[in-house]
Chains A and B, each alone.
Chain A
């Protein structure tokens, strides 16, 4: 009960802080949309399959810029704030869950805007019934990326070059999320089985949840 109460409170405050500083939606998101536009402008006019690479560009931009969104709280946390969290009796597992929930909500909004930008810029040939599976892939990918970034932020906490180090930790581990999400969307067009890719995303998310909750206390102890 305490774990859930504390998790919700951590999420509420993270979202409130984000609403006031606006890092995700006023700074990172415009850059991500510009990156997508640059991709669309850089494609040679003779290239006739522009629509087909839209989803690939979407996932590349969503994951690369989404990392910045998901990492922003953990890498900007001061030592004083960590100290007060510990002295308040905040369960490190609640911090992981709450922070991941906040990052996941931000990423869902972030990816939704990017999805619209992708449709406008690349005009992909979307098969019927694409929205449901794509939305599910976005939800699962946002959850996975949020937990991965929160965990990486905790591992790199207090170290020099924390931001760069956390990004380096994420980079290889994000592969199953990118593969699962992009292939889930791709399989709608090719009419191949989507289930295996959704299962890959669910398995990855569950593994990250177990790792994040399980490692949170040892990581806090290691930081002492």
Chain B
């Protein structure tokens, strides 16, 4: 089966500054891979590269079968789920309005938003404005969206940090569901204990270079 992610000697420079150098990484369907590294090592840049949000400067990369350098990559974005440090929600809208907006833009049924909000325990806070919601609530709202979106490639950037046990369990469930659908998960963290379980591989990212730990 074709790998979900195939990076070969990929380099990324931002503002003339090399951030990632000679990155080679593969992710098969049904696998979770972890990347650990200190702050500023390039973890977020690597996830943004995998999310097709930045283009490689050197090397070759395929994500969900699409060349990262090409414009065709736009067609696979809808199958990628990304959780970053800062929740990507519209602050002035309520949690429910955000999910409805996402459903309408991506042409998914709106009723699935309410179901997902209930699953993550936000049914009573659904009409709260994002700007008045706690970090944990925002994170749960993102998880609810990913339950609706059912991404084939799930990218988690320190997704478990700052969350209570229940919310961490939701992240684990999201990971498990993605794997069960034969998707893939890439999770990054600055510490090894924040990675969750069932990992196919662990890599360490140091100064923009990736090393296989196990």
Q: Which residues of B lie under 8 Å from residue A88 when comparing CB positions?
A: 77-78, 102, 105-106
Which residue from B71, B87, B107 sits with its C-beta under 8 Å from A221? B71
A6-20 toward B: CB 8 Å interface, digit per residue (1/0)?
100110010011001
> Which of A's residues lie within 8 Å of B, judged by CB?
2, 5-6, 9-10, 13, 16-17, 20-21, 78, 80-81, 83-90, 217, 221, 224
The DSSP consensus for interface residues of chain B is loop
Q: Is the CB of B74 within 8 A of A89?
A: yes
Nearest CB in chain A: distance from B69 CB, A: 10
B51 — nearest CB in chain A belongs to which residue? A87
Which residue from B87, B89, B92 sits with its C-beta under 8 Å from A17? B92
With A13-B93, A13-B101, A17-B92 known as contacts, the answer to whether A89 contacts B86 (CB < 8 A) is no
Nearest CB in chain B: distance from A93 CB, A: 12
Q: Is the CB of A89 within 8 A of B92?
A: no
With A80-B86, A87-B82, A224-B54 known as contacts, the answer to whether A5 contacts B71 (CB < 8 A) is no
Total contacting residues, chain B, CB less than 8 A: 29
Q: Is the CB of A87 within 8 A of B77?
A: yes
A127 to B39 CA separation, bound complex (whole angstroms): 68
Q: Is the CB of A89 within 8 A of B101?
A: no
A224 to B87 CA separation, bound complex (whole angstroms): 20
Q: Is the CB of B88 within 8 A of A81?
A: yes
Q: Is the CB of A16 within 8 A of B106?
A: no
With A20-B92, A89-B74 known as contacts, the answer to whether A83 contacts B104 (CB < 8 A) is no
Q: Which residues of B lie under 8 Å from residue A21 when comparing CB positions?
A: 92
Q: Say whether B53 faces chain A, with CB atoms less than 8 Å apart.
A: yes
Q: Is the CB of B53 within 8 A of A2?
A: no
B71 — nearest CB in chain A belongs to which residue? A221
Q: Which residues of B lie under 8 Å from residue A83 when comparing CB positions?
A: 48, 51, 53, 82, 84, 88
Q: Which residues of B lie under 8 Å from residue A13 when comparing CB positions?
A: 90, 93, 97, 101
B37-56 toward A: CB 8 Å interface, digit per residue (1/0)?
00000000000100111110
Find residues 73-131 in chain B having any chain A CB closer than 8 Å to their own CB: 74, 77-78, 80-82, 84, 86-90, 92-93, 97, 101-102, 104-107, 129
Q: Is the CB of A16 within 8 A of B97?
A: yes
Listed from nearest, the 6 A-B pairs whose CB atoms lie closest are: A80-B88, A89-B78, A84-B88, A17-B92, A88-B105, A224-B55
